[in-house]
Structure 1
Amino acid sequence: MLLPSRTQKFVDLINETHIQAVSIDYLLKKYKISFPTLERFVNELDKIIYPSYFILTTKELSLCLSRHHSSDSCIAKILQNSFEYNLLIKIFFNETYTISSLSEALFVSESTVKRTMKDINLNLTPLNFKISTKPLRVNGDETKLRHFFIIIIKEMYGLENLPFKKEDLDFIKDFYKQFHSIFGLPYSQQDLLNYQLFSLVALQRELNGHTISTPSKIVEERKALIDSISLDYPNVESNHYKGVPLCKIFYFLLSDGFYTPIKALNSTDSFTNQIHNFIEEIEYIFLYSYSEENKNIITKKIHEIVFGYLSMPDHYHTANNYYEKFFYHNDFFIEKMNSIFKLIFEKNFPNASQNSMYMLFFTMIVETDQLLSSFMKNIEPTKILIYFNFDPTFNLYIKNKLELTLSGKNEISILTGEHSFENIDVFFRNYDIIITNHFFDDFPSFENIITVSHFLSKTDNEKIKQMNDKITKEKFNRMSDEMYERANELIKPL
């Protein structure tokens, strides 16, 4: 993080409270501040994130998000208010500044600019980045620097409000449409927004004189495809836009070292062997089998995240920590999902950062084909028995109603024929839930009975849903325990 301690606390307070209220004692001890100081922080922060606001009592602090706000948008407001982030963005868009002209643009003294750049450089040192002053620019590994600016811009503005010129955004959109049309690729708004961010960060860095070399025969093949797209657009001439070659702007479409192609991943390479072993163990533990196409996509992603340009050391923390939040706070079908993944990740990639683990966990959860459906196939359905003794058609009505309203995987039966509730305990063992209007003389030992009248009230429906969810969760937890056991077996020393 590039923020001074005060602004850092603002971001931390959003991250601490956006899920649930936090105790005042905890905050005062963590930040080593007094209650009046916390109160001043909260009042100042309220002005920045308005119309969202904090509720501060003597016992706890909670965040009340406006209907159109999320924690992300609150953090974006804080970052837009940050002098450090604004200084970096100024340099990103214009490397012709001098210290004097930059101080004028930011309405501060030259000494403030120099002091702030010194502080930022201390934070950038672990990443091997540096703001130099003669000339004024940000230097470092160009591939990782572009990723760095992509993160900063996304956190400050979101993908819908990128701080680039409309003509540049429109140009990328036009290229995107043509490129996807030529290759028969589906149009995606989410894809386009990321496309614009990646491309325009590349364009700006190229305009500033920072380039990425793209050698190799594979690159030339893809370059020829990009150059073949005919664009009747202002500022486009001879496969260049604003003087920058199209293949430089859309470098992320090239199969160079930035996005390592599958066919360039040597099967004898130690990195690739680690990846293949990791995927095999994931398949074994989670009872999942990747298609060849999906496995290729995941292999490439793992390579980029663990060994490539997307890897970020643990001492670099983004303001939002999107992937870390997903790892710890996303609601999964299976308990211990993240713990199981962590065991196998650390076994196969012992030198990788936790940041890489968080990002890879997100990627593998959302980009694995039908992963959640696969989990559902591996659990037994919840067996529900319906028995209303006054009308057979009412049984059918309730069965149809439950089929439409219950979540999860259910097998709903109606008591028919010569079956009865005689020998109740033995009979009930075959079902997870029983819904009936039967009169019981003694309460049966079977707990999951819902006894109703000649109708299902809202309360009855809620009881059924809660019991069904509880039983489904228990089935997932049993599967989770089995997965955890398999993972622990794999990490045991030979």
Structure 2
Amino acid sequence: MLAASLECSIVEYIFFEQYESYISLANALHVSESTVKRSIKQMNLFFEQYDIIIKARPLRFEGDENNIRYFFILYFTAKYNLIDLPFKKKLIYQLEQFYTLVSTIFRNKPTIQDRLNFTLFSAVAYEREKNNHPLVIRNAPKITFLINILNSLPTKFTHLNKIDSKSELDFWIRTFSLFTNNKTFNSTPMLSKNKQKKIFERTGIEQFLFLFSKIFKIELTDNERFTISKELYELLFGFLKPKNIINSLNNHYSAFYKSNDFFLDSYKILTKKIFVHCFSEELFPYFDFFFFVLTTHSISLLDNFYSLFAKINITIYIDFDFQFSIYVQNKLEKLLPGNMNFLLIDSADKLYNTNGISESDLFITNIYNYKSIGIAFKEIYILSHHISEFDIENITDIITEVYKKNYSGIILEGEEILKQYFNTDM
């Protein structure tokens, strides 16, 4: 529906400034001039709150240039999902070449997602600059690396055009402003590893990662810690930092935090508490995006934490055929998550002669009169001579409750750790 919307077509045509007048745009869209005017009037009511306006003669976007660029980054992401972007193929190719070249020189590990982000951000900026909508950069960064990259290497190798004048140089500085005017491509990668670590310590990233790892019992190597620190730094201070001023246009990450069932609701809350304690208030609006990336990009970290509480001891005793006990074990291992430690009992005598049975988190049996066994179990589930989908659902619920109980213990420990470090009630 987004791609077919009249308003979206109008927005896109005006962004590329292909039509100067209402009538020429109306003819291209096969609608009346009054329809175009009415749609633009309605859109301007929406854009007004972001200091953006569509003006005529020629048709163009004006207002807060940062907001305009950020809006179109969100727009093109939503409509094209970073694939087959509506920019000239030559431009896309050159931007991708530039990204690969810079990543190689700065020894950053290039990723598909970062390359797609860089290409979209820079393509949007390029179109705005080309159409004489320059971005005002108050604190122009050092751009020596741009000159070196584009001018000192052979064009045959870079596939990029040379910069021949100061005006052209300024044009590209503004085009790459999301990268040249931040600490991601501009300064941090050119610093030594020790100096980068000091930046992570000064900005609160080192403290966040220390507490996050300690509370959720995650063991990191020095290289893993450094790599994650760089990514978190880019999220909060670098080119991946979202512009919260248009937060209502970018609520996907907020929905991920509020609505997604991680099975670990306390994980969300405790992670936010760590974030609030480690970073300044001006960074709070970026937490949802930060949490999304931390959770989705660091699956191995959460897997390690998951293994600490997602474990259960299960005893199975079936009195009519021991093979059915083995069958039940295999079935549960294939269908249910977590680390399940099984104890299979093949005779009634062993019920009383096997250590640890009463300590099992779950006892599964087919004996309806289980009280006659004379052993007090934490949790019992009665099977018939088969295991149905209904049984699987019930056993899953029991196991989930055991996991949650284990998890709650870890969370309580985490709350105590935060109290110790920040000397405050949670």
Equivalent-residue separation in structure 2 for 1:302 and 1:117 (angstroms): 36
Gap regions ≥5 residues in structure 1: 1-48, 50-75
Matched, 1:215 2:145: no
Q: Judge conservation of contact 1:323–1:358 (CA < 8 Å) in 2.
A: yes
> Which residue in 1 is equivalent to 2:334?
404
Following superposition of structure 1 onto structure 2, how do residues 241-260 of structure 1 map, counting pairs within 5 Å? 251=176, 257=182, 259-260=184-185
Closer/same/farther in 2, CA of residues 282 and 387 from structure 1, 3 Å limit: same
Closer/same/farther in 2, CA of residues 413 and 228 from structure 1, 3 Å limit: farther
User: What is the deviation of 1:364?
Assistant: 1.4
Structure 2 residue aligned with 1:362, among 292, 296, 303?
292
Equivalent-residue separation in structure 1 for 2:300 and 2:316 (angstroms): 32
Q: Judge conservation of contact 1:218–1:256 (CA < 8 Å) in 2.
A: no
The 3-state SS of whatever aligns with 1:429 is helix
Q: Paired residues, what number?
A: 406
User: What is the deviation of 1:463?
Assistant: 3.0
Matched, 1:122 2:51: no
Structure 1 residue aligned with 2:360, among 400, 425, 431?
431
Counterpart residue type for residue 406 of structure 2: K
Q: Deviations over 1:432-465 (max 9, x none)?
A: 1122234536376535222224433343333333
Structure 1 residue aligned with 2:78, among 144, 155, 159?
155
Counterpart residue type for residue 142 of structure 2: P
> Which residue in 2 is equivalent to 1:138?
62
Equivalent-residue separation in structure 2 for 1:275 and 1:187 (angstroms): 22
> Which residue in 2 is equivalent to 1:69?
none
Identity over aligned pairs, percent? 23
TM-score (norm 2): 0.72
User: What is the deviation of 1:419?
Assistant: 5.6
Matched, 1:201 2:120: no
Equivalent-residue separation in structure 1 for 2:199 and 2:161 (angstroms): 41
Equivalent-residue separation in structure 2 for 1:248 and 1:477 (angstroms): 51
User: What is the deviation of 1:326?
Assistant: 0.8
> Which residue in 2 is equivalent to 1:321?
251
The 3-state SS of whatever aligns with 1:446 is coil
Structure 2 residue aligned with 1:456, among 372, 383, 387?
387
Closer/same/farther in 2, CA of residues 180 and 122 from structure 1, 3 Å limit: closer
Q: Judge conservation of contact 1:276–1:299 (CA < 8 Å) in 2.
A: yes
Matched, 1:285 2:285: no
Counterpart residue type for residue 215 of structure 1: K
Closer/same/farther in 2, CA of residues 228 and 340 from structure 1, 3 Å limit: farther
Root-mean-square deviation (Å): 4.7
Equivalent-residue separation in structure 1 for 2:48 and 2:118 (angstroms): 31
Equivalent-residue separation in structure 1 for 2:152 and 2:118 (angstroms): 17
Q: Judge conservation of contact 1:252–1:259 (CA < 8 Å) in 2.
A: no
Counterpart residue type for residue 315 of structure 2: L
Gap regions ≥5 residues in structure 2: none
Q: Judge conservation of contact 1:324–1:359 (CA < 8 Å) in 2.
A: yes
Counterpart residue type for residue 375 of structure 1: F
> Which residue in 2 is equivalent to 1:339?
269
Q: Deviations over 1:349-407 (max 9, x none)?
A: 34225431111111211223612211123226211112223444443333333322221
Structure 1 residue aligned with 2:404, among 450, 455, 473?
473
Equivalent-residue separation in structure 2 for 1:262 and 1:237 (angstroms): 24
